[in-house]
Structure formats: C-alpha cells, structure tokens
Structure 1
Amino acid sequence: MVILDGGLATHLEALGADLRDELWSAKVLVENASMIRQAHLDYFAAGAQVATTASYQASIPAFLRRGLSPAEAEELIRLSVRLATEARDVHGQGAVAASVGPYGAYLANGAEYTGDYDLDEDGLVAWHRDRWNILASAGADFLACETVPSYAEARALKRLLAETPGVRAWISFSCRDGEHISDGTPLRQAAELFSGHPRVLAVGVNCTAPRHIPSLIGQIKDKPVMVYPNSGETWDPEKRRWTGLADPVEFGAAAAGWHAAGSAFIGGCCRTTPEHIRQICGHVYGG
C-alpha cells in the first residue's frame, strides 16, 4: 500500500497562493518556489509517501506563451522536481513523481475532462516530447502521467515510454462515470494498453468523483491499481468555483474501502488537503 499526496494546487491556495491563472500551480514556480517546497513537506508530514511535482501545467508551450524563453521554461520544469526532491530529503524518506499533465491542461479549457482535442496521436507525441524528456532526466523516481482523458493520448504516452527505456511511470485517467474515461473509451480498454508493460508501476484514475471509484477499480486488470479522486465537490466551469462540501473523515473512510477493493496506491486530487491524507492513513492503517 502506497499513500500518495493530495491536491497540490488546493494546498498552495491554503498557503496563500493566487492561482487564478492559466498556469495554475505552475504559476508558483515563477513567483514563490519555496511555497511549493513547503506544500510538499506538509503532505509528507501528513503521511504521504510520494510528492507529485508542480509540473502538471508547466509545459514548454505554456511558459513560452507567458513570454519566457525556452531555456527559462526548461529550468522551471526542472525546478519542480528539485523542490519535491528537497522536501523528500528534508522529510527523510519518500519518492518523487514528476507530473506529466495532459494536453488538455495546456489548453486550459476543460479538455482534460472531455478529451476533446485538436491534435491526433502523432501530434500529441510531438507536443509532449520536450517536457517528457526534461522530466525524465530531472531526477524524479518516476513520471506521473495523470488526468489522461483520451485513448489517443494514452497511446501517445505509451510511445514516449518506448522512446525512453530507462523511465518508469504510472498512468492515471480522468473518468466520466464508473466505466469510461473522459472521451468515452472504456477504462478496461484504455488500461489494457499498459498490461504487462514492465516499466508501468500502476494504472488508475484521478480527478474523478469519489462515487465512481469502486466501480472503476474493477475495470483495471494485470496492474496494481491507483486511485486519487477529487474531494467530492463539483467544479462549476461557468462561475469558476467549487460547490458542495467534502468531509476529510468520510474521504478517509471511503479510501479504506478502495484499499479493500484492491487499490494499492491511494491519495487525493482536486480539493483534497493534508487532512484528507491524514484521514486516509488513519482509516487504512487504523492509526
């Protein structure tokens, strides 16, 4: 059983960051990098065993669009790994997962929840390649390919894995319901792309409503299962705010059920906090 961290952007906001920007948490890499290190430390202190870097939205094209040079963009992406590594070293144990966000995160239009892209598989390989290679060489323990909404993007990531034989990764999909990833492909079919792959540590789902997790766990075969859903609140894209309430204690109790159902990696995504991770640890381990 591996305990992942929770929502990095959520905790950065709690620490005082203003993320009302298309760069989202990557904005803090530019403005206040030490805050990211502190967020990682807080998650480790809560019981997380993995720090997921602030590179989800930190793509080369996004930084270039902001006016940075290619060299500055690369340095910021590498910085995301250094910050997580420094926090891990201060904590004394743990692993670092370099976040590979989907193309939809760069589009900043919600496409990571639909898979409605203007690039085909070849285009997605080309778009991801530069950041992929930077993160693969930056010193993380593995790559976290997360919130993948489309079958074509999953195939593109598999091709990039084949190009970098020394790299290990996990693959985590965003899902629309209890059976399908966001573009409508059955999760079982998408997960089968990585069945038997020796360098894929786990396959799972994230950025998905907790109510869908029990059904989704059963769709993944032949690989350790990973789940890190949202808190249970709902994002209103028109008003750009979260609605509803989510109780960390209830989330932790649900996590114990996900573990019993076969999930080997458990954490949280949007709107989860260090307290959610404490509750996962308490309910799973009885501490």
Structure 2
Amino acid sequence: MTQTAPSPVTVLDGGTGRELKRIGAPFQQPEWSALALIEAPEYVTRVHQSYVDAGADVITTNTYAVVPFHIGEDRFADQGATLAALAGSLARAVADAAPRRVAVAGSLPPICGSYRPDLVDIDRARPILAVLIAALAPHVDHWQAETLSSLSEAELVGELIAPTGKPLWLSFTLDDTHPGAVAQLRSGESVTDAAVLAQRLGAQAILFNCSQPEVMADAVRAARAACPLPIGVYANAFPPQPEETEANAVLLDIRADLDPAGYAAFAQSWQAAGATILGGCCGIGPDHIAALRALA
C-alpha cells in the first residue's frame, strides 16, 4: 500500500512579547509587547528577523497589545494608528529583505481582553479594530485574527476586513482547562461551529492558538471533519491556568517540558491530525520555530 506524502507545512513565527523580554527590550505591564514599539522599535525588528532566520514563512505584526486594554484609552486615541502603522512597516521591511518569500500577517487581537468571552463587547471593539485595520492594510499580506474566544468576535472581524480584499485567517483559543474533553472555544461554542463559520466568512484558514498543546490535536480533527480549509496550530507554553485567567494580565510561568524538542513532538501530532500550518504563541521562541522548520 502506497503511503500518502504529508502536505507541505507553512511555518509561522513564535511569540513576540516573551521574545522581546528575553532579548532585553523595554517590557512591562500593562503595555506588554507594545512598549518596545513605543520606546525601542529596533527590538521588534530583531524579533522579526530572528524568526525569519529560524525558517518562518510568516511573521506577525506586533499589534496584539496596541489596544486600549494595554496602552490605555488616551494613548490609543492619540497614537494607536501610528503605532499600528509602525508595526506593519517594521514587519514588512523584514519580510521584503528576506532571501525567500516571507508573508506578513496583520495581527488583529481580541479587543476587550484575551481568554474572556464574557467581556466581549462588539460595539466597543468595532471602532478599535477599524483603526488597526486601516493602519495595517498597506503592509500586510493577510489578516490573522488571533486568540478569538467566541464566534461573535470572528464575525465582526470578517465584516470589517472584507473591504480590504485581503485574505483572512481566523485563529481561535480553546478551553484548555479540561484536556481530553470535547474541543471547544473558551466561550463553550464548538470547534465545529467555528470551522463552519470560518468557511462562511470566506476565511482561507482556520487556526487554534494560545492554548495548551494537549488540546490542539482534537480541535484539528474536529475542524478537519467540518470544513476543507487549511488548519493551523500555534500553542502557548503556559501551565494550566484557572478559568478566570486573563491572557497577558500577568507574566505567567513557562512549562519546562516545552523545550524545542518537546514542542516539536506535539507539533508532529497536530500534523498527523491534519494541520498544515504550524507555529508558536506565548513562550515559543526562535529555537522552537527552527525545530518546526525541520519537520516541514
């Protein structure tokens, strides 16, 4: 019996905030990864370059924390568009200088707090996302709506990016408090419904991010059964967290078992389940991405 060769893998970059902190960039709460963008953008360029050097096919704009939740209402009103445009131009410059094709993903974060579907406020999120989209649009190859904990967030992004004509990748964060349970979003909505919605919105990929690696393979299988879209995974390296945890609200510990080899072993299971897009989220750095490149 002839074995089917695995599908080609697209390698994403890893986490930005933790990598900025590791290399000595300005980094503190509440600004998180936005502080380097504000005070020392050369560090952001260094992080992008490190992921390109590690073999990433896609680098992500450093806009996850360019929201009032992190930089404050007044600063966002005054500088949000400028900072988002700077983040886009920094990523674009690194991608354009690469010796091979590297795409730029425009990061569109959850506006009202990560991991908190109970805080989702579509009316509040709409104008903030509109600022990010307008500022990033000239610089990005596709949109990457990240750490979505509910279907309503995805629907809003789909609506707002449609006029740009640029492809959309939707990435959902999973309930990882009970590994082994049926895969679902942090809202309790099903992965199947998320996959169906992604297809209806015309997304070009569905991904799962910022969740423990143990829950990813089941989500990949559920998405694969529900829709034909390419599927991606970029897990975090956090230990299990209480359900009330808010991502990036505190500096969480990193699991000792998720070194590059340990993370790559999980990635092989995601690939076996049907994922063709692999990368890393919080706590996953360039060495991890190099290990994923070796799998591709």
Q: How does 1:1-287 map to 2 (within 5 A)?
A: 1-59=9-67, 63=71, 65=73, 67=75, 70=78, 72-93=79-100, 94-104=102-112, 111-117=113-119, 119=121, 121-136=122-137, 138-162=138-162, 164-177=163-176, 178-198=182-202, 200-220=203-223, 221-234=227-240, 240-245=251-256, 246-282=258-294, 284-285=295-296
Between the two proteins, the alignment pairs up a number of residues equal to 273
- For 1:9 and 1:77, the matched residues in 2 are separated by 16
Q: C-alpha displacement at 1:62, in angstroms? A: 5.4
Q: C-alpha displacement at 1:256, in angstroms? A: 1.9
Letter paired with 2:144 = A
Q: C-alpha displacement at 1:34, in angstroms? A: 0.6
- For 2:283 and 2:92, the matched residues in 1 are separated by 23
Q: Secondary structure at the match of 1:263?
A: coil
Aligned residues of 1:210 and 1:229 also touching (Cα < 8 A): yes
Q: C-alpha displacement at 1:23, in angstroms? A: 2.1
The equivalent of 1:107 in structure 2 is none
Describe the shift of the 1:239–1:91 C-alpha distance in structure 2 as closer, same or farther (beyond 3 A).
closer
Q: Secondary structure at the match of 1:231?
A: coil
Describe the shift of the 1:62–1:249 C-alpha distance in structure 2 as closer, same or farther (beyond 3 A).
closer
Aligned residues of 1:149 and 1:175 also touching (Cα < 8 A): yes
Q: C-alpha displacement at 1:279, in angstroms? A: 1.1
Q: Once the two structures are aligned, what percentage of the paired residues are identical?
A: 28
Aligned residues of 2:10 and 2:276 also touching (Cα < 8 A): yes
Answer with 94-103 or 173-182: which moved more. Answer: 173-182
Aligned residues of 1:125 and 1:159 also touching (Cα < 8 A): no
Describe the shift of the 1:10–1:216 C-alpha distance in structure 2 as closer, same or farther (beyond 3 A).
same
* TM-score, structure 2 as length reference: 0.85
Describe the shift of the 1:130–1:92 C-alpha distance in structure 2 as closer, same or farther (beyond 3 A).
same
Describe the shift of the 1:134–1:215 C-alpha distance in structure 2 as closer, same or farther (beyond 3 A).
same
Aligned residues of 1:51 and 1:97 also touching (Cα < 8 A): yes
Provide structure 1 residue ranges, at least 5 long, that are not aligned to the other structure: 105-110
Describe the shift of the 1:234–1:42 C-alpha distance in structure 2 as closer, same or farther (beyond 3 A).
farther
Q: C-alpha displacement at 1:98, in angstroms? A: 1.1
Q: C-alpha displacement at 1:126, in angstroms? A: 3.6
- For 2:264 and 2:70, the matched residues in 1 are separated by 35
Deviations 1:27-51 (A, max 9, x none): 1111110110010000111111111
- For 1:74 and 1:19, the matched residues in 2 are separated by 21
Q: C-alpha displacement at 1:240, in angstroms? A: 4.0
Answer with 234-243 or 149-158: which moved more. Answer: 234-243
Deviations 1:193-229 (A, max 9, x none): 121544x220111001000011000121221101101
Q: Secondary structure at the match of 1:7?
A: coil
Aligned residues of 2:158 and 2:201 also touching (Cα < 8 A): no
Provide structure 2 residue ranges, at least 5 long, that are not aligned to the other structure: 1-8, 177-181
- For 2:35 and 2:183, the matched residues in 1 are separated by 34
Describe the shift of the 1:254–1:240 C-alpha distance in structure 2 as closer, same or farther (beyond 3 A).
closer
Q: Secondary structure at the match of 1:113?
A: coil
Aligned residues of 2:13 and 2:56 also touching (Cα < 8 A): yes
Letter paired with 1:10 = R
Deviations 1:121-152 (A, max 9, x none): 4443344222222222x321111100011122
Q: C-alpha displacement at 1:60, in angstroms? A: 6.4
* TM-score, structure 1 as length reference: 0.87
Aligned residues of 1:234 and 1:244 also touching (Cα < 8 A): no
- For 1:9 and 1:241, the matched residues in 2 are separated by 12
- For 1:206 and 1:61, the matched residues in 2 are separated by 20
Aligned residues of 2:34 and 2:62 also touching (Cα < 8 A): yes
Describe the shift of the 1:251–1:17 C-alpha distance in structure 2 as closer, same or farther (beyond 3 A).
same
Describe the shift of the 1:64–1:250 C-alpha distance in structure 2 as closer, same or farther (beyond 3 A).
closer
